[in-house]
Structure 1
Amino acid sequence: MVDAVYDPAAAGDAEAITAKLATQVPEILAFHTATMFSCVLLVIFAAGLHRQLLARTRPDSLVPGVAVAGLGLVAVAQLIGAGLTTEFAFALTEDAGLVVPESATFFNHWIGTIPWLWGGAGLTGLALFRAARTGAYASWLGWTSLVLGGLTALFMVSPLQYMAGMTGPVWLVVVSLGLLRTAGED
């Protein structure tokens, strides 16, 4: 939604990008709020998954640590990715002339990439696959985690790392719903 830097009409023109960003302040604030809310929920989900994995895997298993670390990486990327939003949003609201156009251009690239670094969720997905292989979870949850988590992890190590922002959230939603659905079966 905050796409000034990707607008062909403003391409290469930092001042035009800044002017368009000044019209997108509501979208910047919505992005900030949604990203930070997601960050908080990821930390809570990761802590719960970690506790559950500790109970379902061997005491010396690396699976719980890898799973929580993977989602921790995503939460940190979201925290840092949305970290500049308020500074730019409030400056653009007050007076777009307060913002150095080249900085605004960088900012728009920043929020278009950093918060979408969901590659760490791929590590969590692969850890969940390993846990399912040992009987800790249903096999469908393991295979889903292998496919979506594996794809997310592949994006993480590729030059298209921000594409993990497409597959990682899908993995998270599917796994979250699956874990909620099976919670009463324990």
Structure 2
Amino acid sequence: MSTTAHPVVPAPGRAAGATSERADSAHRPRGWAWAGVAAGVAGIGTIVTSSMSTAVYDATVQGDAPAIVDVMAGQVPQLIAFHLTTMATVALLPVVAAGLHRRLRATTPADSLTGPVAAIGLVLVAVAALMGSGLDTEFLFAVGEPEVLVPEAAVVFGHWVGTIPWLWVGAGISGVAVAVAALRHRAVPRWLGVVGLVLGGLTLLLGISPLQYMAGMTGPVWLLVTMLGLALGDRRA
């Protein structure tokens, strides 16, 4: 006796219900979006505090490593604030990346790359921020003890703080991915697509250009505006 296997086809009502549930879940308030707001604020704080750590750019001591260390020793509070805001950004961004990936996956075609690309861009920002703060513990308090510090090494640290954390090109990648998801697939509100196209596109172009550190001035702003939009107004794509 032979039997014929037939594929199991889900009931139309069930399939429609699953699709509806998936779409509804995309518009529920999410903690990850508020984490993104916090990451945007912390990212802006990183750029501000980095800009306040100016010893290596002080025209009165340039070229004089011991004098630069003396100036840096007076900027320890700024450097501590830089460390705290930068590491807060590092801790928050993976959560934001995962949430944004899930949000875009729920409202874009199954084969769309926008979700993974947006998430990877934010992870790149987190890696740059982690590296940018990686020398902090080594130098934060050592600059107050010049007898145990090689001045030229502290100068390198000063340039490190003033450059690596500004590498927000990954946010430009994420912004453009969100723009594609919004303008092509209507996966998020259209105005977020415009924000991604303008601020994300500008961040990407700056990051690619020799003015790459300028991306740090636009990337956190894109993140803050986008996450506020998703946290407060993301009810219909």
Give the TM-score taking structure 2 as reference length.
0.75
| Partner of residue 124, structure 1 | 174
- The aligned counterpart of 1:91 is 142
CA contact (8 A) 1:22 1:96 kept: no
AA aligned opposite 1:119 = V
| Rg (Cα) greater in structure | 2
Q: Count residues with an aligned counterpart.
A: 185
Per-residue CA deviation, residues 22-58 of structure 1 (Å, 9 max, x unaligned), is: 1111211110011000111222111110111111111
Deviates more, 1:19-28 or 1:108-117: 19-28
Q: 2:89 aligns with which of 23, 38, 44?
A: 38
Give the match for residue 23 of structure 1.
Answer: 74
Give the letter aligned to residue 117 of structure 2. Answer: V
The unaligned stretches of length 5 or more in structure 2 are 1-51
Distance of 1:90 and 1:170 partners within structure 2? 31
Counterpart residue identity of residue 52, structure 1:
R
RMSD: 1.2
Look up the match of 2:229. 178
Question: Is the 8 Å Cα contact of residues 167 and 212 (structure 2) preserved in structure 1?
Answer: yes
The answer to which structure, 1 or 2, has the higher relative contact order (CA under 8 A, 6+ apart) is 2
Whichever residue aligns with residue 211 of structure 2, its letter is L
* Distance in 2, Cα, partners of 1:17 & 1:85: 16
Q: CA deviation at 1:97?
A: 2.1
How far did residue 91 of structure 1 move?
A: 1.6
Match of 2:117 in 1: 66
CA contact (8 A) 1:29 1:86 kept: no
Identity of aligned residues (%): 56
Structure-1 separation of matches of 2:57 and 2:170 = 26
For the residue of structure 2 that corresponds to 1:170, the secondary structure is: helix
Distance in 1 separating the partners of 2:81 and 2:146: 19
Structure 1 residue 61: deviation in Å? 1.0
Tell me what 1:145 maps to. 196
Q: Which residue number in structure 2 is paired with residue 115 of structure 1?
A: 165
Which structure 1 residue ranges, 5 or more long, are not aligned?
none
CA distance in structure 1 between the aligned counterparts of 2:213 and 2:93, rounded to whole angstroms: 18
- One-letter amino acid of the structure 2 residue matched with residue 109 of structure 1: H
Between 51-60 and 145-154, report the one with greater CA deviation: 51-60
